[in-house]
Amino acid sequence: MLVDDKVKKLAFLGLDNAGKTSIITAITKKFGYEEEIFKLMPTRKIARDAFRFLGIEFVRMDFGGQLQYREEYLKHPTKYISGTDLIYYVIDAQNSERFVETVDYLDQILLFLKEEREYPPICIIFHKFDPQIRNEKEINQRILTIKQALTRYSHDFDIFFFETTIYDIKSVMDAFSSGLSLLFEKMEMVSHLFAEMSKNYNTLMIALFDAKGITIGEYYKPHLHLQEKIRIYDKYLETQRRIIDQNRRMFEFSDKFDNGQRYSGLVELLNFGNLDFYLLFIIEEDKEDLASTIKILDKIEAAKPQMENMILQLIQ
Ligand SMILES: Nc1nc2c(ncn2[C@@H]2O[C@H](COP(=O)(O)OP(=O)(O)O)[C@@H](O)[C@H]2O)c(=O)[nH]1
Ligand SMILES: [Mg+2]
């Protein structure tokens, strides 16, 4: 499944105050799991924690971004930066005064990696992309300029861009999950299967999450608005929590969007040994024909074996 089975190292890099620690905290705390902080290195200010995903152990390293630490990492890059499997580089999207400084730091990191011939995927996260600035022309223009400037590295590195904000946990989880999926070759087949399945039903969304909320695959109806996605995701989180608290295997719910359109949802727990996964299925409700909604939810039940097979392939 992976290139090799040793522990995978994820690095969160960026200037101080970019939001690295907030992102990691949001990912871990949202799902109420106490992550095992097994080593804290206050002197070098790299906080490490460990987690498992699809049966593989990961170490997540939060590189303190103050100037003195950055200088230390760049002075001994072999010690700090080498051997990283995936880099999340976090930029404060609201602080354009530090754009030059942050691009410069990223430059130095990438130059070092290039010299070492190490090419981990690079996820560049424009963070603090809060709802109220999402439509601001100037900020969007500046972000675009940085993206264009960084294309000079795309010959050597696989570079991916994300916009995130702590006010939308989905944006943070999407960036994190997308990064991880780059390390698992088979993960994209999950999304493909969901896209296929969606053709048979009037589906708004199908998604598969691991117990910690990492997305393993998902399909959205193409025209679904961001607000609606966020609403569904919040509803999912609430439902997942209920399943855990009430020790259930499945929960169905009905809800409506701001525009009045009603939708039905189902969250189902799937276990494989000690690994838990959650399947989320969302369909539009037909006001005239509620029986058809129920019929569709029954059909989903029938598609479960196929889904379980796929998960088995992922974790084998
Ligand atoms: N507006 C806004 N502020 C944020 C967001 N995420 C984090 N912050 C704030 O940014 C500051 C720096 O965050 P922190 O995670 O400590 O940054 P780090 O130095 O990169 O680890 C804190 O005051 C956070 O509350 C966000 O999405 N939007
Ligand atoms: Mg920090």
Per-position DSSP letters for 234-296, written without gaps between them? HHHHHHHHHHHHTT-SEEEEEEE-TTS-EEEEEEEEEEETTEEEEEEEEEE--TT-HHHHHHH
Number of domains within the chain: 2
Shared-domain flag, residues 133 and 212: no
Domain span holding position 276: 187-315
Please report which confidence band the pLDDT of residue 37 belongs to, taking 50, 70 and 90 as the band edges. Answer: very low
Contact 129, 163 (CB under 8 A): yes
Shared-domain flag, residues 38 and 167: yes
Shared-domain flag, residues 303 and 245: yes
Q: Which of 183, 209, 227 is the last residue of a domain?
A: 183
The C-alpha atoms of residue 71 and residue 252 are separated, in whole angstroms, by 53
Shared-domain flag, residues 122 and 246: no
Please report which confidence band the pLDDT of residue 44 belongs to, taking 50, 70 and 90 as the band edges. Answer: low
Is the predicted pLDDT of residue 2 greater than 90, yes or no? Answer: no
Distance 23 CA to ligand 2 centre (A): 9
Taking a 5 Å cut-off on Cβ, the residues next to ion ligand 2 are 21
Residue at token pair 């754009």: 99
- Tell me what the mean pLDDT of segment 109-130 comes to: 97
Provide the CATH number for the domain around residue 148.
3.40.50.300
Of ligand 1's listed atoms, the one at least distance from the Cα of 166 is 27
Shared-domain flag, residues 178 and 222: no
Is the predicted pLDDT of residue 108 greater than 90, yes or no? Answer: yes
Nearest ligand to residue 134 Cα: 1
- Tell me what the mean pLDDT of segment 168-192 comes to: 91
Please report which confidence band the pLDDT of residue 142 belongs to, taking 50, 70 and 90 as the band edges. Answer: very high
- Tell me what the mean pLDDT of segment 295-310 comes to: 81
Please report which confidence band the pLDDT of residue 35 belongs to, taking 50, 70 and 90 as the band edges. Answer: very low
Shared-domain flag, residues 68 and 215: no
- Tell me what the mean pLDDT of segment 89-107 comes to: 96
Q: Which of 164, 183, 202 is the last residue of a domain?
A: 183
pLDDT averaged over every residue in the chain = 88
Shared-domain flag, residues 169 and 210: no
pTM: 0.88
Shared-domain flag, residues 233 and 217: yes
Question: Would you say residue 2 lies in a domain?
Answer: no
Is the predicted pLDDT of residue 295 greater than 50, yes or no? Answer: yes
Q: Quick one: pLDDT at residue 40?
A: 39
Q: pLDDT tens for residues 255-272?
A: 999 999 999 999 999 988
Calculate Rg over the CA atoms of the chain. 21
Provide the CATH number for the domain around residue 241.
3.30.450.190
Q: Quick one: pLDDT at residue 1?
A: 44
CA-CA distances (angstroms) from residue 107 to 14, 100, 185? 11, 10, 28
Shared-domain flag, residues 133 and 209: no
Distance 69 CA to ligand 2 centre (A): 11
Q: Quick one: pLDDT at residue 207?
A: 94
Distance 18 CA to ligand 1 centre (A): 6
Question: Would you say residue 3 lies in a domain?
Answer: no
- Tell me what the mean pLDDT of segment 20-43 comes to: 64
Shared-domain flag, residues 171 and 192: no
Most confident segment among 101-105, 183-187, 250-254: 101-105
The C-alpha atoms of residue 276 and residue 270 are separated, in whole angstroms, by 6
Shared-domain flag, residues 302 and 243: yes
Q: Does residue 178 line the site of ligand 1, with CB under 6 A?
A: no
Q: Does residue 60 line the site of ligand 1, with CB under 6 A?
A: no
User: Which of 20, 22, 49, 60 most suits a substitution to test ligand 1, by most atoms within 8 Å of the C-beta?
Assistant: 22
Q: Quick one: pLDDT at residue 31?
A: 66
Q: Quick one: pLDDT at residue 43?
A: 41
Shared-domain flag, residues 195 and 96: no
Q: Which of 135, 157, 183 is the last residue of a domain?
A: 183
Distance 170 CA to ligand 1 centre (A): 16
Of ligand 1's listed atoms, the one at least distance from the Cα of 25 is 15
Please report which confidence band the pLDDT of residue 45 belongs to, taking 50, 70 and 90 as the band edges. Answer: confident
Distance 19 CA to ligand 1 centre (A): 4
- Tell me what the mean pLDDT of segment 99-121 comes to: 97
Is the predicted pLDDT of residue 33 greater than 60, yes or no? Answer: no
Nearest CA to ligand 1 atom 7: 19
Q: Does residue 93 line the site of ligand 1, with CB under 6 A?
A: no
What H or E segment, with its residue span, contains residue 206? Answer: strand 203-210
